[in-house]
Structure 1
Amino acid sequence: MEMIQSHKTRYPLPSILFLLHMLSLHLPSLAYTVPDKYFISCGSDTNSTASGRTFIGDLTSGNSGSFTFTRQSSPVKDSNKSTATPPLYQTARIFRERSSYEFVISSAGTYLVRLHFFSFSYSANLSTALFDVLASEISLVGNFSVPHGSNSPVIKEFFINITVGKFPIYFMPQGSSFAFVNAIELFLAPENFIPSPAPLVSPAGSDGNYEGILSKALLTIHRINVGGSTLSPENDTLWRYWVPDDSFLYSPDTAKNISFLSSKPNYQGGVTEYIAPDLVYQTAKEMNINSRRPSNNFNITWSFNVSKNAMHFVRVHFCDYVSASPGVLLRFNLYIYSNFSRQIYPYDTTSQLAAPFYVDFVVDSDDSGIMRISIGPRQDSGDQTAFLNGLEIMEIMGGLGKVARTSDPKNKNTSVFVVVGSVLGGLVLICILAVVLCLGRRCRKPKAMETLDWSPVPVHRGGSTDSRLQVPEGAMFGSLTPNLNLGLRISFAEIQFATNNFDIKKKIGKGGFGTVFRGTLSNGTEVAVKRSEPGSHQGLPEFQTEIIVLSKIRHRHLVSLIGYCDENSEMILVYEFMEKGTLRDHLYDSALPSLPWKQRLEICIGAANGLHYLHRGSSGGFIHRDVKSTNVLLDENYVAKVADFGLSRLSGPPDQTHVSTVVKGTFGYLDPDYFKTQQLTEKSDVYSFGVVLLEVLCARPAINTLLPLEQVNLAEWAMFCKKKGMLEQIVDASIRSEINLNCLRKFVDTAERCLEEYGVDRPNMGDVVWDLEYALQLQQTAMPREPHEDSTTDASAMLALPNIQHLPSLSMSMERDDMPMLREDLSNAPAIEVFSQLRIDDAR
């Protein structure tokens, strides 16, 4: 792979290092031609053509012994034979027992394997199949079934390193079910298409190199044509699908599409159209710098769902059509998560404009299941823009052999070189000696130079930098015992008794931290038991933070911690049991009855009271940092209690304006001011609570990518509707007849103030409590309308609210971190004293 080096670094022996750079590139062979095998139409006695490929029917003579079946299998045909279904998906081969296709491999290398599944009806429906697929002892597909009624095939794509000989793909039915497949592709990819090593990136930053990628199978998760449209196999040299990036953007207004369709990419240095097609390199997203954004201090960020706590191979594609001239090439930063950055400088790879290049990484995901990738300007380059053309993310699956990590803390950019031929052996030796000399000199550089570009671009506004508290995100609590409340410790045996040894029947949920069980302690107390995966250290900071925060605060509207267990590497938290579950469950995506409007108001007031206590319960207080509808729980009387304090941070003394910290939270609820500046304040919670208020009013998720683009983000869509006088488009139809108009105005006005772009313009939670209580009074008493209150819509607009379609939530959680040592004990602050309206300093 290309290793992007800083342009400031000056090396001796430039001609030797140029040869070294060329030898270290993981590029496909220019002599590659697309193979004509294997393309199999399963269960068919005729050949099928699809996207320029000819799929050979496995019942025809075209097989010629190049692949065989093992054990019993049967061909089946679609009984409907719809003309809308491509011929390739009108036949299939089914397996009633463990069976395989066995292919003869004559050339070793990385192979691209695609399995096509499409459910149709014959004597049985293929959607009822449940099975696994294995290849070379790697589980490719597990507990797999094809959704009933799907109009599109399901295609699973893998990259697998295969040696010469026989290569079987096993189909294994589960229980009394069966397995099936409609088509198989298996062909040799370009030489060195996938590298063996690549830089390893974790949520905490760089972690050396990851060795042995080729000993694993790669499953394609995302293949993104950034700035472009959907590309089908007809548009791709290796018959790949590419999808647009718009639905993955965190803030769409930060980016703009650019295209250069009339100019063919200038392929060179061994990069060919097989890496990615022309249309990927001819389109891109660039920073949207305009009159509304006079500063270049922002990034473009994409967020991708990935497998939790798994390794992923990430390939990032660039093609510089943006730079003014070959002599003045653009420099910018690529970020993965928040703690890793890499300078992107086309001059390190090519001196030509419009020359495609790519960078590879192995990225270790956290327990959030979200991977964030950003681009942004470098402060020291003078450039004000950045661009991205394409992105591929593949999950690294089970291995064929031992895989090792290597770490070199002295030089995070150390390249791994491959001897590419005996003829070049002498040059390789010379080059390695040159690198050793260079590394020796670089190791003597000051550490400040080594980490110059390893943190995201800081953004500050005037008037807020004088009192910053720098909190190191990597600071851990240390051992559990010195900091935790030992009076809350519960034995593992007691928890086993409470949950009937974690009986699956007592399971009530599963989250990023672990599985939640309902239990009953020996004293009869009903509890919720949250257990992390046994032996796993994922979530340790959140575990410690939750215990420390909840052992020091008590309030009617904050979930109480009953105890915890840390025996034998266990991480278990025991809470009071909340009978009615989450607020979200009662708003949408649930069979539960809809909450009446007055009850929703009371729940909002309760949650706001809890947050206000969290912020102002004592000097300094805490910032929750993950306020959302799933973290508002309801007890048996529908009393709201805020939960999940794993991301909480100290807010500092009263004269402290903010805490500078890495961005954490949940997309859709995340404060844009915090996201841009990395400066966390209690107003960040206020913004998130404003989104919750809109969820309560509209009964839809904060982010819903299934809706039209302008409606995806609830906060943006609701504020747009309010300004346009179209509030009726967002109110939950089930409560439209219950809401008093004056109450609605006050409620929406409160939410709008919470959602102000800058934190200084938002109310504090005490003001929010007061406003919501006033809205409740307006709901309970039909007060006359005041002219100045008419900020949303008129009465006639509320008479006929249309039904709003509520689609499933696709909210996405970002990565988590730890919290600094807490300094004050809040457990002795009486709730009634703290929350008396007569005694709050800033109460109205």
Structure 2
Amino acid sequence: MEKHQSHRPNIPKPPLFIFLLHFLTLHLNISSAYEIPVKYFINCGSKETVNNGSRNFVGDKKSSTSKTGFFFTKPSSTDTNINQSPSNISALYNTARIFKEQSSYVFKTGGVNTTYLVRLHFFAFSSHTDLSTAVFDVSASGFLLLHNFTAQSSKRFPLIKEFFIPTNTSKFQISFTPKQSSFAFVNAIEVFPAPPLNFSLGEAKNAGEQQPTSVLQTVYRINVGGPRIESDRDTVWRNWETDDSYLVDKSSAYTYKTTVSFKNLFDETPELVYMSAKVMSNTTGNSKVTWSFVVNKTAGHLVRTHFCDIISISENTLAFKVYINSNISQEINATNYLRNYSPFHIDFQVGSHDSGVMNVSIGPVNPEIDKSPFLNGLEIFEITDTLTSMPAAATESNSPKTTVVSSVLGSVAFLCILAAGFYFFYKRRRSKAIENSVWSKRSSTTKHPVQNLNLGLKIPFSEIKSATKNFSPTQQIGKGGFGIVYKGILSNGTQVAIKRSSPGSGQGLSEFETEIMVLSKIRHQHLVSLIGYCEERSEMILVYEFMENGSLTDHLYNSDSPSLSWKQRLDICIGAARGLKYLHNDSPQVIIHRDVKSANILLDQNLIAKVADFGLSKSGPPEESHISTKVKGTFGYLDPEYFTSQQLSQKSDVYSFGVVLLEVLCARPAIDTHLPRDQINLAEWAKYCNNKGVIEEIIDPSIKTQINPNSLQKFMETAEKCLQEEGVDRPSMVDVIWDLEYALQYQQTPVPREPHEDSTITASSAFVMPDARRLPSLDSTIYIDDDSATLSENLPHLNAGESSPQMRTQNFDQ
């Protein structure tokens, strides 16, 4: 038997990321199949045993440790599905155990210093208890696994949460803690020792040593280039997805498959993963192949990439690089890694990232020589750190000894917290003094751009405090990327919205200055007006005109605001488009907003739309075709061309506006992680529904019967053009306004259909949505009248079958 080889290259840590490389070469037939020493499969809330493939889930009713090896600690109840589940839903999801107070499943384990694979199954079936309303926490062995968890997205399909949890005790405990006035539930539980996957989880070596430090939660498990692998084809019952929906550019790679069989792989990866791969295409001119994933932006992640050279004719011919978010890279070459048909994996530990997007890429080391970078499989795990986790639930008995120890530990902890408080208070005072000193020094030599303007827009901090009643929570009306937004009234009686920068908000001086620089020089009916700003006492505060009806988002979803009619939505879209058109075409410098989304379209008391939040905007001379800049924006709205090339243009705003149009039609967010995975990205889901001929099914039900078919068709044609993959194929905002004006005209003036027209034609069959990429879902003051009124006045009444005229203008990106 050959010895497992491991290699850990000496690679410098890149800034902002911790890079962990773990290499393992796997030879064929080097280990026997993994035998699980002890396993628990529990059918919660039932006394029946349910067969689910090769697993038998035992009912937990009347469970006892002697018979089943597990028990739960507090009284609970059960619930049963009152409707017959669809044929594709297992009988495992017909019952659930419900907890009204904190309770735990406690398992007898075979030993200490073990990593357990835990799966929790949730399905909010129809019952007298609405399971979808449950809100609760789940913890295990001292780690907080799920916080404020709700199973609303599991109404149609079961939701399975998978974790790898190290423990150094002889008992393993999973606790469910309902939130106040709520309850917790679970349909099924799986617990068994994980195979030797060689994760660096910081296991304690022996019982009594320090607590293990990390848990991994599975986020994605991808069979790249191959089919979906169901759980029964994996020795530890893992599901592997296909990769196509995550591939940014489908033309950048092709699928390669082999019939060579791989048996008894060391880490129990199914052989099907290594029997296929995605290989970089040599015909498209791409420099990389990229897969993009939505991840928790506040958490670190472990990324495991799987490789097996099934494509080379001879050995020692391949060399390529793997990239994570363009910040971490590792060369894969024949000398250190690649041998024909020898599987291996490489792990990357990646820090948190504000974008909430993770890109995994492969590309050549030398594009002239290396033509075939490839990837076989990919797993992404979220890392949970015990330092930020809640403690596990208390055990069944609390002895006096435990109470004394807890009291002592509590006193020590209190003293530590008190000392830390004094330390950070001192540090904060000192850092503020240094910050003010540096600011004063800089101001005395080179004034920053805001000071150079010498604007009469400064508002004293004392007036800001008075206007917001000393920043009273009762005056808060929202919270954004810059900070908290307050409602206030200035001393002259003007009602205003006041944005106060918050520490750790992710935006700072640069965004503050950009907002002032842009809005102080322009005025337009469809742009939010800046009233003033304050920069006293290290504060960064922006004061705007007050918008009585909040954001467009508030009227589409997640609020109690009244629903908008279809005509109102069209008027709002046209108004926002006019604001963007002014930025692109009519301001002294071309301004690209860079963060167009429904939350940044505000509505006044008459529902007039105004574009807001210019902190990320960029400006440039009209003759420039694009601006090369670091990618910023909001995931789900990002232009894929800008995302991959880092070249920003007017058409980047046009793409984002296309996503807003779909939001307006469907009344759902651009990215909704509570939905099933194929529905998370709105643009992608709309494309899928359109291809299936069911686009009407995702329209907001409150307006579905209001929409004139011709108006809907024109509106969707506009969205289609905005969402084209290449910026050159997208319309200018001038053209967008024309098209939306026509959609409004169709809605206001119904057009009779000609006798020869097929009355069964729907809007979804009249156009084709583009194949949306999955992305990771800045001198004088100018006052300008709303120049777009002429468009409405001169718009001809339409006859059936007429197409809209296209206004030809000099565009920024032509």
Partner residue, 1:641: 610
- Aligned to 1:345, the other structure's residue is in SS state strand
Q: Is 1:259 matched with 2:257?
A: yes
For 1:836 and 1:358, locate their aligned partners in 2 and report how far apart those are by CA, in whole Å: 61
1:322-333 correspondence runs (5 A): 322-329=311-318, 331-333=319-321
Counterpart AA for 2:378 = L
CA distance in 2, matches of 1:703, 1:796: 41
Pairing 1:363–2:363 present: no
Query: CA 1:277–1:613 in 2, change beyond 3 Å: closer, same or farther?
Result: same
2:595 aligns with: 626
Q: Distance in 1 between matches of 2:336 and 2:533?
A: 53
Of stretches 360-369 and 772-781 in structure 1, the one that deviates more from structure 2 is: 772-781
Alignment of 1:737-756 (within 5 A): 737=708
RMSD between aligned residues: 5.4
Is the contact between residue 310 and residue 364 of structure 1 (CA under 8 Å) also seen in structure 2? yes
Match of 1:319 among 300, 308, 316: 308
Q: C-alpha separation between the residues in 2 aligned to 1:49 and 1:774?
A: 59
Q: 1:310 to 1:109 in 2, by over 3 A?
A: same
Contact 2:481 2:506 in 1 (8 A): no
- After TM superposition, the score normalised by the length of structure 2 is 0.70
Are 1:733 and 1:801, in contact at CA under 8 Å, matched by a contact in 2?
Answer: no
Q: 1:569 to 1:184 in 2, by over 3 A?
A: farther
Distance 1:127 1:303 in 2: 30
Asked if the contact 2:125–2:131 (Cα under 8 Å) also holds between the matched residues in 1, the reply is yes
- How far apart are residue 163 of structure 1 and its match? 0.9
Matched position secondary structure for 2:37: coil
1:45-194 to structure 2, matched below 5 A, reads 45=47, 47-58=49-60, 63-64=65-66, 69=71, 71-74=73-76, 76=78, 78=80, 86=90, 88-89=92-93, 92-105=96-109, 106-119=111-124, 126-127=131-132, 129-147=134-152, 150=155, 152-191=157-196, 193-194=198-199
**Retained in 1: the 8 A contact 2:26–2:342?**
no
Native 8 Å contact 1:610 1:641 kept in 2: yes
Q: What is the CA distance between 1:621 and its match in structure 2?
A: 2.9
Inter-partner Cα distance in structure 1 for 2:539 and 2:342 = 52
CA deviation digits over 1:725-774, x for unaligned, max 9? Answer: x9999998556538589xx87x88877776666545666545666x4698
- Equivalent residue for 1:247? 245
Deviates more, 1:529-538 or 1:727-736: 727-736
Distance in 2 (alpha carbons) for counterparts of 1:352 and 1:283: 16
Q: Tell me what 1:373 maps to.
A: 360
Find the counterpart in structure 2 of residue 682 from structure 1: 650
Equivalent in 575, 581, 584 of residue 612 of structure 1: 581
CA distance in 2, matches of 1:684, 1:90: 48
Q: Is the Cα–Cα contact under 8 Å of residues 110 and 193 in structure 1 kept in the other structure? A: no
Segment of structure 1 superposing worse, 618-627 or 693-702: 693-702
Of 237, 247, 272, 2:266 maps to 272
Partners of 1:650 and 1:6 in 2: CA distance: 43
Residue 102 (structure 1) shift: 3.2
* Contact residue 547 and residue 561 of structure 1 kept, 8 A: yes
1:162, distance to aligned residue in structure 2 (A) = 0.9
Q: Show the counterpart of 1:553.
A: 522
CA drift of 1:236 comes to: 1.4
Q: Which residue of 2 aligns with 1:406?
A: none
**Cα pair 2:481 2:505 within 8 Å, conserved:** no
Q: Distance in 2 between matches of 1:584 and 1:353?
A: 53
Alignment of 1:357-436 (within 5 A): 357-380=344-367, 382-399=369-386
Tell me if structure 2 keeps the 8 A contact 1:507–1:518: yes
Distance change in 2, residues 1:768/1:70 (3 Å) = closer
Q: CA deviation at 1:108?
A: 0.5
Name the structure 1 match of 2:438: none
Q: Which residue of 1 aligns with 2:630?
A: 662
Specify every segment of 5 or more residues in structure 2 that has no aligned partner in the other structure, as ranges. Answer: 12-19, 203-209, 390-440, 766-771, 792-806
Distance 1:581 1:258, change over 3 A: farther
Q: Which moved more, 1:241-250 or 1:489-498?
A: 489-498
Decide which of 261, 274, 284 is 1:281's aligned counterpart. 274
C-alpha offsets along residues 44-79 of structure 1, whole Å, 9 cap, x if unaligned?
556554343344555678833885657432464637
What is the percentage of aligned positions where both structures have the same residue? 47
Q: For residues 533 and 187 of structure 1, do their structure 2 counterparts lie closer, same or farther at Cα, with a shift above 3 Å needed? A: farther
User: Following superposition of structure 1 onto structure 2, how do residues 225-240 of structure 1 map, counting pairs within 5 Å?
Assistant: 225-240=223-238
Deviation at residue 131 of structure 1 after TM alignment: 2.9
Give, in angstroms, the shift of residue 185 of structure 1.
2.7
The 3 A distance-change label for structure 1 pair 144 and 501 is: farther
Q: Secondary structure at the match of 2:177?
A: strand
User: Within 2, Cα distance between the matches of 1:802 and 1:381?
Assistant: 50
Offset from partner CA, 1:613-644 (integer Å, 9 cap, x none):
32345554322223344433332223232223
> Structure 1's 687 and 804: CA in aligned 2 closer, same or farther, altered over 3 A?
closer
Q: CA deviation at 1:215?
A: 0.7
CA distance in 2 between partners of 1:121 and 1:762 (Å) = 45
Q: Deviations over 1:281-330 (max 9, x none)?
A: 323333455xxxx432254433322223222222222233233332322x
Residue type at the aligned position of 1:233: S
1:234 is paired with a residue whose SS is helix
Q: CA deviation at 1:350?
A: 3.5
Q: Is the 8 A contact 2:25 2:342 kept in 1?
A: no
- The runs of 5 or more residues in structure 1 that have no matched partner are 8-20, 198-211, 403-477, 786-792, 806-810, 816-821
Secondary structure of the 1:227 match is: coil
Deviation digits for residues 150-170 of structure 1 (CA, Å, limit 9, x no counterpart): 354433222222113444333
Cα distance, 1:576 vs structure 2: 2.5
Moved more, 296-305 or 72-81: 72-81
Structure 2 counterpart SS, 1:237: coil
Contact 1:582 1:629 in 2 (8 A): yes
CA deviation profile, 1:488-515 (whole Å, cap 9, x unmatched):
5667776666556767776655555555
Q: Quick one: structure 1 residues 691 and 350, their matched pair in 2 at CA, closer, same or farther if it must change by over 3 Å? A: closer
For 2:594 and 2:220, locate their aligned partners in 1 and report how far apart those are by CA, in whole Å.
Answer: 29
| Structure 1 residues 128 and 517: alpha-carbon distance in aligned structure 2, compared to 1, 3 A threshold | same
Counterparts of 2:79 and 2:696 in 1: how far apart (Å)?
Answer: 52
Aligned residues: 701
**CA contact 2:47–2:60 (8 Å) conserved in 1:** yes
CA distance in 2, matches of 1:754, 1:774: 15
Aligned to 1:474: none
Matching of residues 640-789 of structure 1 within 5 Å: 640-651=609-620, 653-666=621-634, 669-689=637-657, 712-713=683-684, 734=705, 736-737=707-708, 758-759=726-727, 764-765=732-733, 771=738, 775=742
CA distance in 1, matches of 2:546, 2:594: 23
Q: How far, CA to CA, are the matches of 2:165 and 2:745 in structure 1?
A: 65
One-letter identity of the residue aligned with 2:164: F
CA shift digits 1:653-678 (9 cap, x unpaired): 34433222234445665445434543
Task: Give the aligned residue type for 1:158.
Answer: F
Matches within 5 A, 1:344-363: 344-345=331-332, 347=334, 349-363=336-350
Structure-2 separation of matches of 1:130 and 1:93: 14
